[in-house]
């Protein structure tokens, strides 16, 4: 075990440790990474860059907790009580954990506080599901036999989370995983690691047994690859890019680990000429400029019918230019920063890509200057018109505040364009025709379709993608099944085995 490490602060920089067995510990090889505030450009924290040896320690802790001690003895009701207490602790510390995330990724404080206050509801929901019947009794063709099924936890779960909504997306995994009785090792993005450590501290403070929820921090390599390839891990739950998800699935296949993947998107937001345009444009703005466009479900491809195309372009341009880009801590700000410099540079590079492909820039396309933040990673809300679906800006996930407007003539063309992508995470339909709304929704190859709204999620409804947008589902009852194995049990209620060569005897 590596040396115990209390929180320390030197010149305003807090040094965190790995969180294993309900305590922070120093990394074995002593390597740390800087955590940078994307608004100020200042280093405010350091976290371990975990080695394969550190991952071994975390997996050993999680495996021990799964097979020994208090956690495997917990009844479903005990796990439910813990989830409720954990939710209460999050509610009590909502401002703190929201602030940590703003420091990490530059999202608006009002959005992060809202997410933090929502998280307890996820835990309350899974506390209820943990106590619901999950098996069945089955009618048989064999006489004097009883068959029933039970669902049991998988074991050790590796939860690998991104930087855009770091704790909410961790909750999407942690809630059902713990409700089912698994133990969890979280590996947050190196951009947003400190909030996950504080999250694990809260779990320990309300009584989660040691080893049930561990956090290892670090880069994708060595930390991430050591975790996803570890023979002691039974399941990988990943949210992130499609390319990384493909690599994880390939690696997991070597040991037949269970995998759930919530990956990228290039979601169509379709506006028909009979839509309520005020509501539709509000939805377009929320769909692509909310969270600075850094959501997998972003409605980045805006498909607009011919008759209203120019009107929508003009209105979206006006709305984009009016958005207040500013200090994420300011409640008046409507858009904060891009989360990190590599992503900032990627987003800006796509402006040049779109221009080179022939798209027409109608708003934004540059950095935004914010008083008091000369080193901030701010990008203006950007709108491109005259986009065709074969352009890179229409096919590749930018993960930033760039809208691509595509013209269509009729319903069939809208559906064809919408489905002409490698992704299938989400879609939006805006129309006043109820028959068309349901008809188009049924034809779209996407895991979530919003009709006359956009970017809504709930703990009670499944979320996930078609095609290269992922495998499996998060949220809802479906998520609990993702973290369990089904076992079939046969009981002889008759006179025992009479003829070993005749199973019907």
Specify the CATH number for the domain of residue 229: 3.40.605.10
Alpha helices in 106-165 (DSSP H): 109-130
Position of tokens 């996407």? Answer: 446
Residues 429 and 480 in one domain: no
Evaluate whether 196 touches 169 at the Cβ level (below 8 Å). no
CA atoms within 13 A on the CB side of 131: 14
β-strands 156-160, 235-239: how paired? parallel
- What count of Cα atoms within 13 Å lies in the side-chain half-sphere of residue 65? 25
* pLDDT of the residue at 287: 97
**Statement to judge: residues 165 and 78 lie in one domain:** yes
Do 183 and 278 belong together in one domain? no
Question: Which residue is catalytic, options 111, 190, 262, 474?
Answer: 262
**330 lies in the same domain as 372:** yes
The tokens for 462 are 């499944």
Does a structural domain hold residue 91? yes
* Cβ 296 vs Cβ 352: under 8 Å: no
- Helix, coil or strand: residue 66: helix
Give yes or no: residues 79 and 21 share one domain: yes
Domain presence at residue 499: no
Number of domains the chain is built from: 2
Residue 280 and residue 201 share a domain: no
Predicted pLDDT of residue 9: 56
For residues 449 and 441, the answer to whether their CB atoms sit within 8 Å is: yes
**Each residue's pLDDT tens digit, 201-244:** 999 999 999 999 999 999 999 999 999 999 999 999 999 999 99
Q: Is residue 6 part of a domain?
A: no
Amino acid 503: pLDDT: 63
495 is a domain residue = no
DSSP structural state of residue 221: I
For residues 133 and 182, state if they share a domain: yes
3-state secondary structure 284-346: HHHHHHHHHHCCCCCCCEEEEEHHHHHHHHHHHHHHHHHCCECCCCCCCCCECCCCCHHHHHH
Measured distance CA(17)–CA(200) in Å, rounded: 12
**498 is a domain residue:** no
Note whether 22 and 170 are same-domain residues: yes
How many whole angstroms separate alpha carbon 49 and alpha carbon 263? 24
Instruction: Write out residues in the chain with pLDDT < 70, as ranges.
Output: 1-10, 503-505
Phi-psi region of 468 (alpha: psi -120 to 50; beta: other; left: phi over 0): alpha
Query: Could you tell me if 235 and 483 are in contact, meaning their C-beta atoms sit under 8 angstroms apart?
Result: yes
Q: Is 262 a catalytic residue?
A: yes
What CATH number has the domain bearing residue 305? 3.40.309.10
Q: Which pLDDT value is given to residue 6?
A: 45
How far is it, in rounded angstroms, from Cα 371 to Cα 40?
11
In a domain, 493, yes or no: no
Q: Are residues 428 and 484 in the same domain?
A: no
Which residues form the domain of 417?
268-451
Task: Please tell me what DSSP assigns to residue 4.
Answer: B
């Amino acid at each position: 075990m590596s040396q115990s490490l209390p929180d320390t602060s030197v010149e305003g920089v807090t040094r965190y440790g790995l969180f294993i067995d309900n305590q922070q510990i120093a990394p074995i090889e002593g390597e740390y990474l800087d955590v940078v505030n994307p608004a100020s450009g200042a280093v405010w924290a350091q976290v371990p860059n975990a080695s394969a040896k550190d991952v071994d320690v975390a997996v050993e802790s999680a495996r021990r907790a799964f097979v020994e001690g208090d956690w495997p003895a917990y009844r479903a009701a005990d796990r439910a009580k813990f989830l409720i207490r954990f939710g209460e602790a999050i509610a009590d510390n909502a401002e703190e954990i929201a602030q940590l995330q703003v420091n990490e990724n530059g999202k608006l404080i009002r959005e992060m506080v809202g997410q933090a206050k929502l998280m307890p509801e996820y835990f309350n929901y899974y506390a209820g599901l943990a106590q619901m019947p999950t098996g069945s009794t089955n009618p048989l063709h064999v006489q004097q036999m009883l068959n029933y099924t039970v669902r049991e936890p998988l074991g050790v779960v590796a939860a690998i989370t991104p930087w855009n909504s770091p704790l909410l997306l961790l909750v999407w995994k942690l809630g059902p995983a713990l409700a089912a009785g698994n133990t969890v090792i979280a590996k947050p993005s190196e951009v947003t690691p400190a909030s996950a450590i504080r999250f694990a501290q809260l779990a320990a403070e309300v009584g989660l047994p040691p080893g049930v929820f561990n956090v290892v921090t670090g880069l994708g390599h060595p930390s991430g690859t050591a975790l996803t390839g570890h023979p002691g891990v039974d399941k990988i739950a990943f949210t992130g890019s499609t390319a990384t998800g493909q690599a994880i699935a390939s690696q997991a296949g070597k040991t037949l680990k269970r995998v759930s993947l919530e990956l990228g998107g290039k979601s169509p937001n379709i506006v028909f000429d009979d839509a309520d345009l005020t509501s539709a444009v509000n939805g377009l703005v929320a769909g692509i400029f909310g969270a600075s466009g850094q959501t997998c479900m972003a409605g980045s491809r805006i498909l607009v019918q011919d008759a209203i195309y120019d009107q929508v372009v003009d209105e979206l341009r006006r709305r984009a230019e009016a958005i207040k880009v500013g200090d994420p801590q300011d409640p008046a700000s409507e858009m904060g920063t891009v989360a990190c410099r590599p992503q900032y540079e990627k987003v800006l590079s796509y402006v040049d890509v779109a221009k080179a492909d022939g798209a027409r820039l109608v708003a934004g396309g540059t950095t935004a200057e914010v008083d008091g933040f000369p080193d901030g990673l701010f990008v203006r809300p950007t709108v491109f018109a005259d986009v065709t679906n074969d352009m890179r800006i229409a096919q590749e996930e930018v993960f930033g505040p760039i809208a691509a407007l595509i013209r269509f003539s009729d319903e069939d063309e809208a559906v064809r364009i919408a489905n002409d992508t490698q992704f299938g995470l989400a879609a939006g339909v805006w129309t006043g025709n109820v028959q068309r709304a349901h008809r188009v929704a049924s034809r779209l190859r996407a895991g979530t379709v919003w009709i006359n709204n956009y970017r809504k999620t709930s703990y009670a409804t499944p979320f996930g993608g078609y095609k290269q947008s992922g495998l499996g589902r998060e949220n809802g009852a479906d998520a609990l099944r993702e973290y369990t194995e089904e076992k079939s049990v046969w009981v002889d209620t008759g006179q025992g085995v009479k003829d070993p060569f005749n199973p019907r005897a």
